[in-house]
Structure 1
Amino acid sequence: MSKRHRPIRVITLLALCFHVNPAISGGAQFQPGVDFFPTPDGLQLPNPFFSFASEPIEGGFFGPGSDPFEGAFETVSGIPIQVSPELGPTFPTFDSILVRPNPLDIPGAGEVSEVPIQLVALSLQSPVPISVTYNGGQNPENWAVRVVLSEVNPSIGRIRLSGGGFLQGAVIEPVVLPRVLFVRQSDNETKVLDFGTAGRDPIALPPICGSWNSFNDGPQIPGGVFTDPNLDGNFSLGPLPGSNADFKLSP
């Protein structure tokens, strides 16, 4: 049987409300780099983010006799991403890393520029476990939920900047393919659902409003670090580019 192909849904992830340094003019560029973000505890997710109502997890996924799962988890918090070499005890924690692989043009008034972006690391968890039942609603079990990125397909999108006066806008539009780790709380048995290998559609993270500046006075990740994308102690992703000294995103 041929595999049914679904259209990729590219949905806005972050609608960043940027405050722009008025000294920047059209034609300037920010060089490639990384941006890293924390996720507020208890972040409310937009419906139907991580809802399995329209495409349930099949019966038997969690074990023999497990019922199809049609539920959802509606809040997330971040699990700090580890990098190697370590950044030091005073460096703030973060749970998502975004790479801008190409120079980013700064548009003039009435102009729009865009550049590809890739979400290379994501580390979230649901503070509330899901309930899995067996044999028609019997023997409920609590399973913790963690979310990283698919190991199969990259999560690539774009960032668009619009020029104007003192206040200018930007929209980041990534394709996000998650890898969901379900951990049974009674014995740490783990089941993995990779949206890439399962042929499921990408989903979107909630939009975040923030600001950017043409100087970076905050913590910066040096170039050449590696990270643990699957939370398994294997620092397999890297080396990554470093932060920009002249570009700072603040959620």
Structure 2
Amino acid sequence: MREGVDDEAQKGGLHGMKNPRRTELNLSTCKGVLLDLGGTLIYGPSIREIFVKSLHSESLNLKIDESAKKGLSITFERIYDGLKVIKRKLLIEVSLYSILKMVLEERLKADAGLIERLRETLLSLYIETRSAHDDARLFLKKLKTLGYRIMIVSNALDHYMALGSLEKLKLINYVDDVLTSAQLGIRKPHPLIYIIAMEKLKTSNVVFIGDDVEADVLGPLRVGIPAIHVVRKGVRLKRSLSTLSDVLDMILT
């Protein structure tokens, strides 16, 4: 566990840090649910794995040898990891297209057409390989039955990574709106993301549910949004819940 994370989350309780707007989670007054996507509702292979598969895709038909493809994979990993540090520090998003452009232009004489074809191939493979957690559909269905408005709030390199995955998994009908870092150019836990989400959902009586401590718990708490941590894997807080079914039980009690 990262030093200080649990202490900060527990100052007002994991489900609500002390602030001028609210101090604790009160599900009876909540009208909206802000939900993380990757790791919370869905999962799948990493973007690095998908990039490698994309290079070998028949639909892309990239006419270079295996050595060149290996070089592209190494370059992608270096650029992606380097940008990850910058994005985490500045809380900005760098689009999938921009990343692919940097990779291809460093290794090949790439035009806009090739960059876009690689983007489309990667998106298709990414969406194709997403799966929903076993409790995701029932959770969303029950929330809608109870009258909650639901918004997906996700850090994503491309908006269609989120939208297409929800459509493919037939979860989109349970969702009122989808907000991604790709749309805004900023990433969770930037405070503006949560504020914009509440404005779009037309209610400030919301709760945030997700699996990432910084993006889905501490970020919302800092702007006065109660948070529920669903720990699929990784850092566990004192009041973390293990599944969305556990969250549902909390809501129903």
TM-score normalised by length of structure 2: 0.27
Higher relative contact order (CA 8 A, sep 6+): 2
Determine which structure has the larger strand proportion and give its number: 1
Q: Which has the higher helix share?
A: 2
What is the TM-score with the length of structure 1 in the denominator? 0.27
